[in-house]
Chains A and B, each alone.
Chain A
Amino acid sequence: MTALPPPGGRKLGLVIDLDTCVGCHACAVNCKEWNTGGHAAPLPDHDPYGAGATGVWFNRVHTFEAGEGAAARTVHFPRSCLHCETPDCVRVCPTGASYKRAEDGIVLVNEDLCIGCKLCSWACPYGAREYDHDAGVMKKCTLCIDRIYNENLEEIDRVPACVATCPASARHFGDLGDPDSAVSRLVAARGGVALMPELGYAPVNRYLPPRPRRDTPGCTGAPAALPEAASGGGRFLRWIDAMLSR
């Protein structure tokens, strides 16, 4: 059903820290690795080592430069489905294949109903949906629905693959509908932002902007510089100094 569920309740999503992301693409790779065997498997992966590599990825890492001159900085920017609260990708679907779950807000595609018209990908401003030419259906991030509720996994592993693998802990998963959850508090503390809020799709995922740049070092208690080399010293050192200065 492409009608949206009533608002409220849980809003599972990701919080991505652009301050700590190092742009290693591990999240994208582990996403592909998990999902090519998961809910939306398999993901096309043609000519993966050749010059014309193509395939479906749910998560892609862009790299931007922000600011000018000496103040400019590199910002790595992982981009995936934001599981919007009012997504048009769901409402435009003519068959009901695209849907938003009432219980946790995850946006999914029922591949058995999808006719592959691609209209949902046109409706998404975030480029989150990629068409699978092999299967003739649309695919997208599932928020690793087959991990986060998977009781065969240790509880600590019940997070999306991208979150589990991030070596910089730049990705956080949780309920953004609960103001007291760890992710909500993180967003509040760091001033997390929504992407393209002006379009009105109310994305759930939040991005934490890079922290202010520090141009002066903090105080560690150590002297700022080594003391000047002392003059004087013993007769032997003076002799060495004289020899070397000759």
Chain B
Amino acid sequence: MHPAYSVIFFTTASGAGYGLLAMLGTFAAFGLVPPDPWFGAVAFALALGAIAFGLVSSTFHLGHPERAWRAYSQWRTSWLSREGVAATLTFVPAGLFAFGWMFVGENGGIWGALGLVVAAAAAATVYCTAMIYAALKTIRAWNHGIVTRLYLALAVLTGSLWYNALAWLFGHVSPFAPLVVIIALSYGFWLKRRYWMYIDGTHAASTVATATGLAGLGPVRLLDAPNTQENFVQEEMGYRIARAHATKLRRYAFFLLFAIPAALVLIGMEASLWLGLPCAVLAALSASFGVVIERWLFFAEAKHVVTLYYGADAA
């Protein structure tokens, strides 16, 4: 699939933003962070800013961005519509929760319960985002239960790394943030490895024989394309990445998203401010780049069954 930058930035930025929101909500609910208004102001600005930036950038690839509001209407059938609804609804509890944190000076009790609502809404939104892809039966690499879990794990991973960096910056270091990072990181890495093994080891049930209905005649191969220049379907669905490049990018994603943040967060746990803060910030930056590469590969490595009509051996 063609990796569109607007969608890559949307899913990664909003994923990290929702992850950070969920961290703020749950940590407040369990009394793990005081309602420091400056910490709150910067954290909510970062989380809601990333989400808003992601949502706006996702409209850049639309043919008619001014009609985007219509996407709220089909939540009964469409995961894209559900995502729009969930993303917008999340702003309500998130805004109230941020208000309580910054202006009432409370993030426990009833405000803490609201924090759990924020975390649940954030998780629901990320789940809807992942289901847009996971629901497509035409793309084997996406139509799998790992995909939703991976989106959720990577949102928590990037969000908790951002939280950890902010916690160092504002002096609210808690051992629980690195703990969440390590859990999300281990789970995310395990899922990503399984995901790569899955997409490398299987093919779609559909073949050029089932696509043409010509199985009875023997092996089927494309002789002549229908057009002399690439058409929309080939440009959008026929993106191919060289295996050598994919291997290299997978390695970059592994180091930036998993290995480097793991090392930096573990070093930072027992460190002083002068070592801990740069470690936490670098870990967050590394994972933020890593997740962009991971998401780029998520698109670039996914094969669409329609390519069977254009000469692909398997999809």
Q: Which residues of A contact B (CB under 8 A)?
A: 1-3, 18, 28, 51-54, 56-57, 60-68, 71-75, 77, 79, 88, 90-97, 113-119, 121-127, 129-133, 135-137, 193-200, 207, 209-210
Contacts and interface: CB of A to CB of B under 8 A. Distances in A.
A67 B218 contact: yes
A75 B214 contact: yes
B138 A122 contact: yes
Contacts of A194: 213
A115 B74 CA distance: 13
Contact of A195 (B135, B212, B222): B212
Interface string B142-163: 0000000000000000000000
13 contacts: A60-B227, A62-B224, A64-B222, A68-B219, A95-B81, A96-B74, A115-B68, A122-B139, A127-B237, A136-B62, A195-B212, A196-B305, A209-B214
Interface in B220-267: 220-233, 236-237
Contacts of A61: 226
A130 to B, nearest CB: 5
A16 B211 CA distance: 14
A60 B226 contact: yes
A52 B223 contact: no
Interface string B54-79: 00000001111101101101101111
Residue of B139, B212, B216, B229 ringed by the most chain A CB atoms within 10 A: B212
B304 interface: yes
Given A65-B223, A93-B74, A122-B136, A75 B231 contact: no
Given A77-B212, A122-B139, A199-B138, A65 B305 contact: no
Contacts of A127: 233, 237, 306, 309
Contact of B136 (A18, A77, A123): A123
A199 B304 CA distance: 13
A48 to B, nearest CB: 11
A198 B215 CA distance: 14
Name the interface size band of chain B. Answer: 35 or more
B282 interface: no
Contact of B71 (A94, A133, A136): A94
A214 to B, nearest CB: 14
A143 B42 CA distance: 55
A210 B310 CA distance: 21
Contact of A62 (B78, B80, B222, B228): B222
Given A196-B211, A207-B213, A117 B80 contact: yes
Given A53-B229, A66-B214, A195-B210, 6 more contacts: A2-B76, A28-B226, A71-B218, A93-B78, A115-B65, A125-B211
Contacts of A68: 218-219
A116 B62 contact: yes
B220 A117 contact: no
Nearest to B228: A53
B197 interface: no
B220 to A, nearest CB: 5
Contact of B73 (A67, A73, A96, A117): A96
Contacts of A125: 137-138, 206, 211, 304-306
Nearest to A77: B212
B178 to A, nearest CB: 38
| Pairs A-B, 8 closest by C-beta atoms | A116-B63, A136-B63, A60-B226, A66-B217, A63-B224, A193-B213, A94-B71, A67-B218
B84 interface: yes
Contacts of A195: 210-213
Given A115-B64, A118-B236, A62 B76 contact: no
